[in-house]
Amino acid sequence: MTADATTADQPMDSQTRQSMRKVAMTALAGTSIEWYDFFIYGTAAALVFPTAFFPEDMPASVALIASFSTFAVGFIARPLGGIIFGHFGDRVGRKRTLVTALMIMGVGTTLIGLLPTYATIGPLAPLALIVLRFVQGLAIGGQWGGAMLLVTENAPANKRGYYGAFAQAGAPVGVILANLAYLLVSGSVSEEAFIDWGWRLPFLASVVLIGVSMYVQLHLEDTPAFKQLEKLKQQNPPQGEEIMPPDEAFEAVVAEKTPADGRSPVLEAIRLYPGRIMLAAGSFLSIQVTFYILIAFIVAYGTNEAGLALPRSIMLSAVLIASAVQIPIQFWAASYSDRHGRRGIYLAGAVLLGLWAFALFPLIDTGNYLLIILAVTGGLGFLGMQYGPQAAFFTELFSTHVRYSGASLGYQVGAILGGALAPTIAVLLWNSYGIFYVSVYIGLATVLTVISVLMLTETHGTDLHSVE
């Protein structure tokens, strides 16, 4: 595939289509298992960790808050992961950096499944859990940028949103896999066995991610945009090797914008695009706040004795079904953005999500299974209208030589501001003021997202080989 493939608007030939399908499905597989690893922690934090990793005499509500606080550690690490992996992703390539992130996640998550509990090693148990959650955060902070750019920088311009949605689909697929894993395990063993050792099985299964990372390393090439940038950087190519001249206009702009002192791509991204990074983060707030309330907090809210005291299977299966519906909505929204622009569909999703927040808990509070499914599906569906086009939107905001760094910073800063404490804040609001104020919390996040997207320009049709 040549660099021209990323800007072509004509239909793809069969070879290009086959190549894109391979890249897209590999990105989907890698991100799905990566997000599965990240999300099984959230489910375990709601169901198991309050009793497994904290003292028995700790009140249930306090233990739940403490458990969700360890969940937040992963988000604290995500911007650091975005910085570290963004630096190397812009320096050594998208593929190699993605492989490293996948390997780290696979190892870290497997080790969580092997951790002794509080009853065995006391305070060292939550400490070790926090360390491994930090490792998970580092890995997820680097994974998203690599997988997203591997797809969007390879895709034709008129299909960038659609193919970018394959990387984005990894999140709801990961939720499905995580909830399915816990449903299968909890349905196969007794409650006592589940709390004792059954919860470990979904974590141990993440060893599969190591195999996926090896496949990416052996079977995929880096993106045309990064390869072209590398050609520009080669001052002294090996004797006898012919370097194809890149586009002269692109070369001139890169020469002007790239510092001669070898400044870090992360620092260069912050220097060139501070406003875009923060607005990208702001545009992500509604997704992050709502997503982690829908996949983590409501599971605890629905099953907790202080809440609805519903069976675990009802809440997990509702999240699973809603996530399955979210996937086609994301692809539809991403394809729509290829034809009509990124901002319009993104804004529509944010506004609808803000309104739906006030229907969410009244529907869940009915205790009716179908209405609970409707509540969660509506939330994840409107969220998917934003998350589907996001990969293409963020890709088009930044130039090639700092794209991994810039997009990762925007994404991960938004993640820590929006998602890190979302379940914890939701529990505190619920306990102190009532469940209505959790809806207000979601509504405020959507307002900030709408403002941020309105301040960003439309990126649809952007040439990925230009700096501005």
Whole-number pLDDT of residue 239: 45
Whole-number pLDDT of residue 102: 81
Least confident span in 60-64, 318-322, 433-437: 60-64
Burial-class residue 382 by CB neighbours within 10 Å (0-12, 13-18, 19+).
buried
For residue 290, give Cα distances in angstroms to 43, 87, 180, 386.
15, 30, 21, 12
Q: What is the DSSP string of 315-338?
A: HHHHHHHHHHHHHHHHHHHHHHHH
CB 126 within 8 A of CB 185: no
Confidence of residue 228 (pLDDT cuts 50, 70, 90): low
Instruction: Give the pair of three-digit tokens for residue 357.
Output: 């927040």
pLDDT digits (tens, 9 = 90+) for 133-165: 899 888 888 777 878 888 888 888 889 999 999
What residue has token string 């060292």? 124
Residue 222's Cβ-side half-sphere holds a number of Cα atoms within 13 Å equal to 20
Burial-class residue 228 by CB neighbours within 10 Å (0-12, 13-18, 19+).
buried
pLDDT digits (tens, 9 = 90+) for 385-431: 999 999 999 999 998 888 888 898 998 889 888 888 898 899 999 99
pLDDT digits (tens, 9 = 90+) for 297-321: 998 898 876 667 888 889 989 999 9
pLDDT at 126 over 70: yes
pLDDT at 98 over 80: no
CB 153 within 8 A of CB 225: yes
Whole-number pLDDT of residue 85: 79
228 or 460, which is more confident: 460
pLDDT digits (tens, 9 = 90+) for 277-301: 999 999 999 999 999 999 889 988 9
Whole-number pLDDT of residue 190: 86
End-to-end CA distance of the chain, in Å? 24
Boundaries of every domain in the chain: 3-8+20-225+247-455
pLDDT digits (tens, 9 = 90+) for 340-359: 999 999 999 999 999 999 99
172-195: average pLDDT? 87
**Phi, psi for 2 (deg, rounded to 5):** -95, 170
104-129: average pLDDT? 89
Query: Looking at residue 365, what DSSP letter applies?
Result: T
Confidence of residue 262 (pLDDT cuts 50, 70, 90): low
Rounded Cα gap, residues 264 and 83, in angstroms: 10
Query: Looking at residue 401, what DSSP letter applies?
Result: G
CB 226 within 8 A of CB 94: yes
pLDDT at 238 over 60: no
Confidence of residue 231 (pLDDT cuts 50, 70, 90): low
Instruction: Give the pair of three-digit tokens for residue 183.
Output: 């449903």
Burial-class residue 423 by CB neighbours within 10 Å (0-12, 13-18, 19+).
buried
Mean per-residue pLDDT over the chain, rounded: 83
Q: CB neighbours (10 Å) of residue 76? A: 16
265-283: average pLDDT? 92
What residue has token string 């606080």? 69
Instruction: Give the pair of three-digit tokens for residue 362.
Output: 């009244």
115-140: average pLDDT? 90
Q: What is the pTM of this model?
A: 0.80
Q: CB neighbours (10 Å) of residue 141? A: 29
Question: Which class would CATH give 3-8+20-225+247-455?
Answer: mainly alpha
- Dihedral of the CA atoms 173, 178, 180, 183 (nearest 10)? -160
What residue has token string 């007794």? 190
For residue 376, give Cα distances in angstroms to 165, 229, 352, 362, 445.
21, 43, 14, 12, 17
Three-class SS of 206-273: HHHHHHHHHHHHHHCCCCHHHHHHHHHHCCCCCCCCCCCCCCHHHHHHHHHHCCCCCCCHHHHHHHHC
Instruction: Give the pair of three-digit tokens for residue 366.
Output: 């009915």
Whole-number pLDDT of residue 62: 85
102-126: average pLDDT? 89
